[in-house]
Chain A
Amino acid sequence: MTTVLVVDDSAADRRLAGGLLERRDGWNVIYAVDGGDAIEQIELHLPDAVLTDMQMPNVDGLALVNRIKEEYPLVPVVLMTAKGSEEIAVRALEAGAASYVPKRTLAGDLVDTVEQILASSTDERHHSRLLNRIQRQECEFVLENELGLIRSAVQYLQEMITQVRLCDEPERLRVGVALEEALINAFYHGNLKVSSKLREQSHEEYYGLAKQRMLEAPYCDRRIHIQAGVTRERATYVIRDEGPGFDPASLPNPTDPVNIDRPCGRAYF
């Protein structure tokens, strides 16, 4: 059974919209008189879709859309717009409402619109359920020396651990920071062979040399290789550059108070 919540402070409009939806076999319609009431009904019944008026006392349509997108992101919201509510409707669509139907064309358009939104929403729910069942993901990238690609790769790798729920949000961010540092090291120190000691002396010279080497052989031909394997239990990332390598033991310990202000080696600890 598909449940649609109709939200409108006008009893006549509620009856009109609800009546149209109730004619559809297999659809159950529940009602709320404003946004606050709607939130209570959503908590109680978790409907498959919400159809809402825009201008209502207390919690209006825009506030309701914001609340639903925040707390129930997979529940689609369809707006009923009337003359004078266009501006607030545009803001609600920008906030994440799925579609809208003008009140003056409810009889002709409402059922088709809700049907279409429910079909898309069902696909999205199945997709979400499928993602929750991923057991293992692997991927491999070969990147040119471009910071934009590095940032996108970090985002992609973070999404992989989100899908298997390997860790919570703060941990996910920390993994992202570590990956970005490893990739930035491969970029500047590995492939371009620009020393962090130069950065200690002059930021301008450091980034100037990096920019120059991005255009010079052999530096510009080097690539960054990423291999990632993620399961529900662990994530493993192997990041390799095509530079000559270095001895990690040679780096100063950045946790030593003597070195706390020095940029070199910080990324490794």
Chain B
Amino acid sequence: MRTFMDELTFNDVGNEVTLVKYRSASSTEPGDAEVTL
């Protein structure tokens, strides 16, 4: 998890994990390009 995310922290009890991912440089700005989900 730590390898794949930018931040990973646990709470004091150890039953809660917080994962954070920041915008990557290679991602494109949202615009009117086609996006299919």
Contacts and interface: CB of A to CB of B under 8 A. Distances in A.
Interface of A: 72-74, 128-129, 131-134, 159, 161-168, 171, 174-175, 177-179, 181-182, 185-186, 190, 232-248, 267-269
Contact of B18 (A74, A166, A236): A236
Given A132-B30, A132-B32, A171 B24 contact: yes
B22 to A, nearest CB: 5
Interface string B11-37: 101111111111110111111111111
A247 B11 CA distance: 10
Interface residues of B, number: 32
Interface of A is mostly: mixed
Nearest to B31: A132
Contacts of B28: 165
Nearest to B29: A165
Given A128-B34, A166-B27, A232-B23, A182 B1 contact: yes
B16 A177 contact: no
Interface centre among B10, B17, B31 (most CB of A within 10 A): B17
In this complex, the member of A164, A186, A268 whose beta carbon has the largest number of chain B beta carbons within 10 angstroms is A268
Contact of A73 (B15, B24, B36): B36
A237 B23 contact: no
